[in-house]
């Protein structure tokens, strides 16, 4: 169910690496738990983020949840389409619903994240 071409955090974010830049998003499990997403607060381009620190929020009909940076680096792009269509996170969380792109400071941080099979085991236990 979860794409094998990325790594996953225990906070239910994913990172897909392309050279030294990681595309970040939330998992299908996360969006399912949130319910209908109505608003997304994105980080700013140029903003520096640290692994495990808050970089934005997602608001659903159920709750407001923080988005945590799964890696450290500088935000080089944000998915501006989420401003007008936040429901894209519900419809396509692993592709069109990407959140932001981060130029990684420490690519080795990816080693601390889970592969798809380990992440599947995590969500199966919740």
**Residue 52 is assigned to a structural domain of this protein:** yes
- pLDDT tens per residue across span 7-60: 999 999 999 999 999 999 999 999 999 999 999 999 999 999 999 999 999 999
Please indicate, yes or no, if residue 74 is contained in any of the structural domains.
yes
Tokens 């988005």 -> residue: 67
Please report the pLDDT score of residue 126 as a whole number.
Answer: 85
Instruction: Let me know if residue 1 belongs to a domain.
Output: no
CATH number of the domain enclosing 25: 2.40.50.100
Q: What is the pTM for the complete model shown?
A: 0.95
Look at residue 2 and tell me if it is in a domain.
no
| Full residue range of the structural domain in which residue 21 is found | 7-124
If pLDDT is split at 50, 70 and 90, which confidence band does 120 have?
very high
Question: So what's the pLDDT on residue 95?
Answer: 95
Q: What is the number of structural domains in the chain?
A: 1
What 3-state DSSP class applies to 66?
strand
Burial 55-86 (b: 16+ CB within 10 A, else e): bbebebeeeebebbbbbbbbbeebbeebeeeb
Percentage of residues in the chain having pLDDT higher than 70: 100
């Amino acid at each position: 169910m979860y794409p094998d071409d990325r790594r996953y955090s225990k906070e239910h974010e994913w990172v897909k690496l392309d050279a030294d830049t990681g595309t970040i998003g939330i998992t299908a499990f996360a969006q399912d738990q949130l319910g209908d997403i109505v608003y997304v607060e994105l980080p700013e381009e140029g903003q520096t983020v640290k692994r495990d620190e808050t970089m934005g929020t997602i608001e659903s009909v159920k709750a407001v949840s923080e988005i945590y940076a799964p890696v450290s680096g500088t935000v080089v792009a944000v998915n501006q389409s989420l401003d007008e269509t936040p429901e894209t996170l519900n419809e396509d969380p692993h592709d069109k619903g990407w959140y932001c792109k981060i130029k990684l400071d420490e690519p080795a941080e990816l080693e601390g994240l889970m592969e798809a099979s380990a992440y599947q085991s995590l969500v199966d236990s919740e």
